[in-house]
Amino acid sequence: MERWLNKVAVVTGASSGIGAATAKDLVLAGLNVVGLARRVDRVEALKQQLPADKCQYLTAIKCDVTDVESVNEAFKQIVTKFGGIDVLVNNAGRIVGGQLCTMDVAEVQTTLQTNVMGVIHCTQHAFKSMKERSMNGHIFIINSIAGHNVVSGIYGQTPVTNVYSASKYALTAITEIYRREFVGLETKIKITSISPALVETEMVGEHLKRLAKDCILSPHDISNAIMYALSTPPHVQIHDMIIKPVGDLF
């Protein structure tokens, strides 16, 4: 991890769950971290959980990844203040209940804008910064097992996850597209997709958490995976990591 000391990491959806855990762990590992979130006050509050001598290494910036202008402004601020981006963790995500055949199309569009277009837009900014500075950076996509197998919801009930799996399947394809593009454009930027099973976050309903019992991951389990991938030698790329709790039945 020594080569990442004092480098700049950007984490989207840093206000809670995997994003908050990742932002915290990256700061503790010696990086300057920018936490992007709509609920920017929560990222500010996260600073209070850090050691007193580390608080200054977490910067909170308000950003809605579904809004092009919001993303442009956020990354403009990052480049102005820090000079560039070395690590990007595309974590912001959305899931809303409903059936794809009947639900409000606007809800579907928002999910796709968050889970797919948000990743694409943020990655373009990070890639531009890395390539212009000849920085062999690292880009992460927080995917899901739903991007490898369609997840419908609770067994025996009408599916409620609608376009969520489709959005994550898109990220699985996009990860491979980026890998080929990064090579073709003569960079050594790494791309890693992290695909967790059920994680104890605000996105997961209490009923599902109770059904899962001990078969659920913590946000720091996913952050630990990111730290591992970051720590690999320059010639090693963890392309896709699937993480399940022991005892998981799916």
- Which tens digit of pLDDT belongs to each residue from 51-98? 999 999 999 999 999 999 999 999 999 999 999 999 999 999 999 989
Q: Which residue's structure tokens are 């989207």?
A: 12
Residue 248 lies in a domain: no
The SS3 call for residue 44 is: helix
pTM of structure:
0.94
CA distance 59 to 95: 27
The CATH number assigned to the domain holding 204 equals 3.40.50.720
Residue 225 lies in a domain: yes
Q: What is the pLDDT of residue 210?
A: 56
Residue 11 lies in a domain: yes
Instruction: Record the tokens describing residue 42, joined without a space.
Output: 């929560």
Q: What is the pLDDT of residue 92?
A: 96
When pLDDT is cut at 50, 70 and 90, the band that residue 216 belongs to is: confident
Q: What is the pLDDT of residue 247?
A: 82
Question: Which domain range does residue 93 map to?
Answer: 2-243
Residue 143 lies in a domain: yes
- 111-156 pLDDT, tens per residue? 999 999 999 999 999 999 999 999 999 999 999 999 999 987 666 7
How many Cβ atoms from other residues are within 10 Å of residue 37's Cβ?
28
CA distance 67 to 80: 20
Residues 6+ apart with CB under 8 A from 193: 140, 141, 143, 147, 171, 172, 175, 239, 240, 241
At position 46, the amino acid (one-letter code) is: L
CA distance 78 to 108: 30
Task: Give yes or no: 164 in active site.
Answer: yes
Instruction: Record the tokens describing residue 158, joined without a space.
Output: 């009408």
Residue 249 lies in a domain: no
Out of 164, 169, 178, 228, the active site residue is 164
Residue 21 lies in a domain: yes
Residue 67 lies in a domain: yes
Residue 170 lies in a domain: yes
Number of domains in the chain: 1
